Amino acid sequence: MNVVNISNLKKSYGTNHVLRGINFQAESGEIIGVIGKNGAGKSTFLEILMTIKQYDAGNVIVLDENIGSLSTNQLEQIRKQISVVLQPTQFYKTLKVEELLKLFKTYYQSSVDLKKVMTDFKLEPHRKKYFDKLSGGWKQIVSLAIAFLAEPKLLILDEPTTGLDPHMRNMLWSYITDYNKRTGGTVILTTHNMDEIELYCDKVMLINNGVNEVFDTTESILASGYKSINDFYLAKVSI
């Protein structure tokens, strides 16, 4: 199934032409990394996919719907099938982990077993802790657990492992890849960690000068002569 299909996407902020003609496709079950230097337009691209930012031109089809022609109510139906984890994560400071999960389970009208979620994400020892008191890594784990409560067809992650130690990064990625394999859900993420792109992503899109300069499988990029995705990135993007 074609989950996302974008053609000639353009977005400007005044005279700053951030996206100048992006073409992008994502199929069910793919994990796709979006890379580029700071200010390249990665977050703007994700916000358009989330249906929370308007664009100037092009076609953006998400879950078989052209989001540029949808009503507010129709957009809400699309959003129910999309989960998002941003960095940094902020939730209600006065709520405990278990309270947050119960709140979002109700909001999503989710049938997911909350006890299983707590077990799967190793959150039982933290269930009575206030979210605001958790480490950055555990905040991201809780955020991911909440995102999964919606049983999304599309999971969008904006630099999900920023600031995490190697153990927490591996832990977070184990949940992401498990979700991907178990549900066939599609994951689209931005990151500056090129080793994550190389280890976990099926495809990578490099946004450079407002266009997707490269959109290919990681396997194909490495087969073209680059020793690593990091070497590929450094060769393509100038300071």
CB 170 within 8 A of CB 122: no
pLDDT average per 10 residues of sequence, the chain (239 residues):
94 94 96 94 94 95 94 91 80 87 90 90 94 89 90 92 88 90 92 95 95 95 95 86
Q: Which amino acid is at 97?
A: V
pLDDT of residue 193: 93
| Alpha-carbon separation of residue 18 from 13, 61, 155 (angstroms) | 7, 20, 23
Query: Phi and psi dihedrals of 215, rounded to 5?
Result: -140, 100
Query: Phi and psi dihedrals of 98, rounded to 5?
Result: -65, -40
Side-chain-side CA neighbours of 173 within 13 Å: the count stands at 21
pLDDT of residue 35: 96
pLDDT of residue 88: 61
What is the Rg, in whole angstroms, of the alpha carbon atoms belonging to the chain?
18
pLDDT of residue 239: 53
| pTM for this prediction | 0.91
DSSP-based three-state secondary structure for 228: coil
Cα(103)–Cα(84) distance, integer angstroms:
16
User: How far is Cα of residue 159 from the mean position of the Cα atoms in its chain?
Assistant: 8
Which of these, 116, 111, 104, 179, lies nearest to 143 by C-alpha position?
104
DSSP tag of 133: G
Tokens of residue 23, six digits: 């073409």
Cα(201)–Cα(195) distance, integer angstroms:
10
pLDDT of residue 89: 64
Which of these, 219, 215, 222, 228, lies nearest to 188 by C-alpha position?
215
Task: Dihedral sign for Cα 158, 163, 166, 167, please.
Answer: negative
In this structure, are strands 57-62 and 16-27 parallel, antiparallel, or unpaired? Answer: unpaired
In this structure, are strands 2-13 and 57-62 parallel, antiparallel, or unpaired? Answer: antiparallel
The beta strand positions in the chain, using DSSP E, are 2-13, 16-27, 31-35, 57-62, 65-66, 82-85, 154-158, 186-190, 203-208, 211-217
Query: Phi and psi dihedrals of 121, rounded to 5?
Result: -95, 10
User: How far is Cα of residue 69 from the mean position of the Cα atoms in its chain?
Assistant: 23
Tell me the domains of the chain and their CATH numbers.
2-81+152-236 (3.40.50.300)
